[in-house]
Amino acid sequence: MSKTNKDILIRLQNVWKTYTMGANKVHALRNMNFEAKRGEFVAIMGPSGSGKSTMVNLVGCLDIPTKGEIFLKHQNIAHLSESKLAQIRGQTIGFIFQQFNLIPTISALENVMLPMTFQNMVRSEREKRAAKLLDLVGLGDRLHHRPTELSGGQQQRVAIARSLSNDPELILADEPTGNLDSKTGVNVMSFLEKLNREQGKTIVMVTHDEKLSHIAERVAHLMDGQIINETRPTAKERRQSFLHSGLAPKESSISKKS
């Protein structure tokens, strides 16, 4: 196996996802091929109905393909049971959703602790790590606030902290700024870029904003369940994207991604 292949974290190979609707079959994904290497920041773009949500579910091990193979860390997960998929998800993938998906009846601290519960971490360690992560995203003084007591931006930062709770290798961000105002969205994008640049987290992000997508080093464009092309933003495009988003350009990061 080449070094390049060793660096691939997630790979979809000849993947189809087909739904039966009455007498009709709908192909949400058609012979999809996609991969993300360790430490990459990849953006996925496409119009409504292009297959983005289906692709996110498969990349995130939330679903299995009708045909084809999915390799996560070189393990074929395409035909695993739901219980095994859940275990792999908890250990390897962190999720950030547009709708935040926080549990409203428990505190920010408890929301961040929750994924660690399923990894059999003792409570004292869960509390310590959750508090550290919330402090990392600037919410060290909001540990015991419930989601309804937090702003949209603060809720998204709780969701980011939760996505990091089990120290995942892959962060899957589905329209992470979609429900945020532009200023708060900038803060979220800044944190994602920092996670990629400083901690080497692999990030796969779905976005409708073409300029924000240029923060990524690679952009996959979907249409009718297929990747029709992939582009790599130039250093100039990345600088413009940073400026558009309000982020301070990081020259070392831009050079690395170009």
* Residue 102 forms part of a structural domain: yes
* Residue 226 forms part of a structural domain: yes
pLDDT in tens, 113-164: 999 988 888 999 999 999 999 998 889 999 999 999 999 989 999 999 999 9
Taking all residues of the chain, what is their mean pLDDT, rounded to a whole number?
Answer: 87
Q: At what angle do helices 108-117 and 152-163 cross, to 10 degrees?
A: 20
* Residue 76 forms part of a structural domain: no
Domain that includes residue 106, residue range? 37-63+81-257
How many Å separate Cα 196 from the centre of its chain? Answer: 11
Q: How many domains are there within the chain?
A: 1
Q: Which of 25, 51, 16 is nearest to 223 (CA)?
A: 51
What is the 3-class SS of 115-167, one letter each residue? HHHCCCCCHHHHHHHHHHHHHHCCCCCCCCCCHHHCCHHHHHHHHHHHHCCCC
* Residue 232 forms part of a structural domain: yes
pLDDT in tens, 189-240: 888 888 898 999 999 999 887 777 888 899 999 999 999 999 988 877 777 7
pLDDT given for residue 3 in this prediction: 43
- The answer to whether 37 and 7 have CB atoms below 8 angstroms apart is yes
Q: Give the residue, 119 or 35, on which the prediction is more confident.
A: 35
* Residue 199 forms part of a structural domain: yes
Which residues are bridge partners to 70 per DSSP? 12
**Which CATH number goes with the domain that contains 167?**
3.40.50.300
* Residue 203 forms part of a structural domain: yes
* Residue 207 forms part of a structural domain: yes
Confidence of residue 255 (pLDDT cuts 50, 70, 90): very low
* Residue 23 forms part of a structural domain: no
